[in-house]
């Protein structure tokens, strides 16, 4: 029973355009939602988070949107750059535990 789902295993986007990564969850009790970025042979790197009481959080080129009624969040990257090519994980936090999605591999095409 996956509580956090990333339904797109991969996504290809042209450099300079917007990348939109999606995540769905099932548990209404999550307190925070986070996005991590991972390069091969490295650990995940924290990108941005959002509290369950907010619907948007922005940090530079990265914006996370939370739709509680749909139990859906998304990460927007504008504009997309070659260095953004990586695997992106969505995670949800509750009670000392992070529940992770399976990840979406983002490929930025030149």
Partner 1 sequence: NAGVTQTPKFRVLKTGQSMTLLCAQDMNHEYMYWYRQDPGMGLRLIHYSVGEGTTAKGEVPDGYNVSRLKKQNFLLGLESAAPSQTSVYFCASSYGAAGMYGYTFGSGTRLTVV
**Which residues form the interface with partner 1 (CB under 8 A)?**
4, 31-34, 36, 41-46, 49, 51, 89, 91, 93, 96-103
Cis peptide before 77 (omega within 30 of 0): no
Q: Are 25 and 1 in contact (CB under 8 A)?
A: no
How far apart are CB 15 and partner 1 at their closest, in Å? Answer: 27
Q: In what order do the strands lie in the sheet with 19-25?
A: 4-5, 19-25, 72-77, 62-67, 56-59
**Residue 79 or 93 with smaller CB distance to partner 1:** 93
How far apart are CB 63 and partner 1 at their closest, in Å? Answer: 17
**Residue 96 or 110 with smaller CB distance to partner 1:** 96
How far apart are CB 70 and partner 1 at their closest, in Å? Answer: 20
Q: How far is CA 38 from the centre of its chain?
A: 11
């Amino acid at each position: 029973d996956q509580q956090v789902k990333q339904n797109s295993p991969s996504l290809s986007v042209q450099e300079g355009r917007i990348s939109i990564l999606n995540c769905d969850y099932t548990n209404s009790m999550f307190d925070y939602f986070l996005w991590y970025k991972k390069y091969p042979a490295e650990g995940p790197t924290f990108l941005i988070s959002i509290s369950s009481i907010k619907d948007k959080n922005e940090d530079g080129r990265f914006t996370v949107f939370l739709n509680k009624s749909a139990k859906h969040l998304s990460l927007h990257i504008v504009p997309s750059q070659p260095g953004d090519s990586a695997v992106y994980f969505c995670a949800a936090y509750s009670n000392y535990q992070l529940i992770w999605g399976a990840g979406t591999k983002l490929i930025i095409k030149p």
